[in-house]
Chain A
Amino acid sequence: MNDLIPYENRAIIPYFNEDVVQPESPETAVARETPFEASRLLKALAKEETTRYALNAASSMVHDYLSEVPEERLANSNGVKISFNKNRKFFSDSEGFKIDIDLK
């Protein structure tokens, strides 16, 4: 069975051992049974949560920032752009992100 898992993904296997799971959901079943796909699935779920945090944080900041900007300046602007970018290795030790708010 072990030969079916690509060599580069074998390191992930000990992470999801038997004591990880009770009670079982589709996600935890994944974690127990197929480590490689489990890792990808958990990352997809974690990404969703992170996007939600980022969206809420950005919403708070944009609201308070635009409330501080003089009305005339906002009326004369050509638009507002907000972006959130994660680093490539986001869920590793070098994780990091950037939020930009631009008034054009």
Chain B
Amino acid sequence: MIKIIEYFKRLKENFLRRKEVIKESRERFYSQCKEGIFNFFKPYLTSRGFYLELENKEGLMDYLSEKKSGKTIESKIESKSRYLDETTQKKINEYTKPVYNAFGRMLNYFSELKKEMGKYDSLSFVYRPSINGYDVETYGNKFNLRFG
């Protein structure tokens, strides 16, 4: 009986810990969106990702014209995590490593193609593990990159 009580106590603690992690994640997302170019966008966190909408066009245009002289990729994907515990980080990496590699490949494709992209109004980057290599399709003003 004591074991059962302990089990449910632990379950509750872990549930509360997960809720706390989710809350912290939300706060970190909104504070991250106040940095760099996304400072001019209104951020929304959704169940399957996020969504950003331009809020301050004048500010964005000033920001871009100031940056134009040293135009380059603004920031790289951070590999450093806030979790210091190696074991937890290792477990998390099992989930995120393939995705992390995919983001790296996407940035490489983007670097190769970005000069052409200014003429398009809509860009899509689709990652599907089953695709071998990458494939670019354009329809009018739409640019679509699919890769695996």
Contact = CB atoms under 8 A, between A and B. Distances in A.
Q: Do A and B bind each other?
A: yes
A44 B41 CA distance: 25
Given A23-B87, A27-B85, A41-B17, A83 B78 contact: no
Given A37-B14, A49-B92, A86-B49, A57 B107 contact: yes
A53 B67 contact: no
A67 B71 contact: yes
A22 B86 CA distance: 9
A65 interface: yes
- Size bracket of the A interface: 35 or more
A14 interface: no
Interface in B40-95: 41, 45-46, 48-54, 57, 60-61, 64-65, 67-68, 71-78, 81, 83-85, 87-88, 91-92, 95
Taking residues whose C-beta sits less than 8 angstroms from the other chain, chain B's interface range is 35 or more
Contacts of B98: 95
A66 B64 CA distance: 8
Contact of A93 (B61, B73, B129): B129
Nearest to B45: A51
A91 B33 CA distance: 24
Contacts of B21: 41, 44-45, 48
A59 B75 contact: yes
B4 A53 contact: no
Contacts of B125: 61, 98-100
Nearest to B4: A4
A42 B28 contact: no
Nearest to A55: B32
Contact of A27 (B53, B88, B121, B122): B88
Given A25-B85, A30-B17, A79-B57, 10 more contacts: A1-B3, A20-B87, A37-B11, A46-B96, A63-B73, A64-B73, A64-B114, A67-B68, A85-B49, A97-B102
Would you list the 5 A-B pairs with minimal beta carbon distance, nearest first? A68-B118, A46-B95, A84-B49, A37-B14, A25-B85
